[in-house]
Amino acid sequence: MAKVLRGPRPLLLLPLLLLAAGMAQLSQGASYQDFVNKHIDFPKTSIPNGQHYCNILMRRRGLTYPVCKYTNTFIHAPISPVRAVCSNRGRCYGRNLCNSKAAFRLTTCRLSPSSRPGRCRYRARVQIRRIQVRCNWWRLPNIAKLFSGIRE
């Protein structure tokens, strides 16, 4: 007669814990990469006809499918000073919201009223402003929305 094992099985739980930790790290990395794809354009992409900058970049970054994203801000700076907003170059409060101490060059693309599904058209607004980002546990920016309304 086979003996049935009872009680906690730490060796069985270990692979599950490692898998969960690995998946959490992957999702945080994916979120950070998503932030970089959506918001970092450095050096600024050179578009021959500057008024088409937003139309082209929003499409290239996959922000027009399946629906037109209403607004998106591109930061024209290397990723390192943007990452630093989550640590020594930002003031953090609340649920990991951090305001930059320095201003960044930005282009905010806003959906034009003449847009329709499959034909997204944007207007560009170029600014130099401080930014606000939501930072993750690893002190990396990982938000889908970037706020550029902080005044100097």
Quick one: the chain helix, strand, coil %, rounded to 5?
30, 30, 40
Does residue 103 surpass a pLDDT of 70? Answer: yes
Residue type, 91: R
* Dihedral sign of CA atoms 27, 30, 34, 36 in order: positive
Q: Report residue 103 as tokens.
A: 């201003």
pTM: 0.76
Which 3 state secondary structure label does DSSP give 123?
A: strand
List, in order of start, the domains of the chain with CATH numbers: 13-150 (3.10.130.10)
Does residue 22 surpass a pLDDT of 50? Answer: no
Percent of the chain predicted with pLDDT > 70: 74
Helix-then-strand count for the chain, H and E: 3, 6
pLDDT the model gives residue 5: 53
Does residue 21 surpass a pLDDT of 60? Answer: no
Q: Which of 43-52, 54-63, 109-118 has the highest mean pLDDT?
A: 54-63
- Residue located via tokens 């959906």: 111
pLDDT digits (tens, 9 = 90+) for 53-98: 999 999 999 999 889 999 999 999 999 999 999 988 999 988 789 9
Give the burial class of 40: count Cβ atoms within 10 A of its Cβ; 0-12 exposed, 13-18 middle, 19 or more buried: middle
pLDDT the model gives residue 19: 43
Q: Report residue 28 as tokens.
A: 């945080």
**Distance of alpha carbon 83 from alpha carbon 100, whole angstroms:** 10
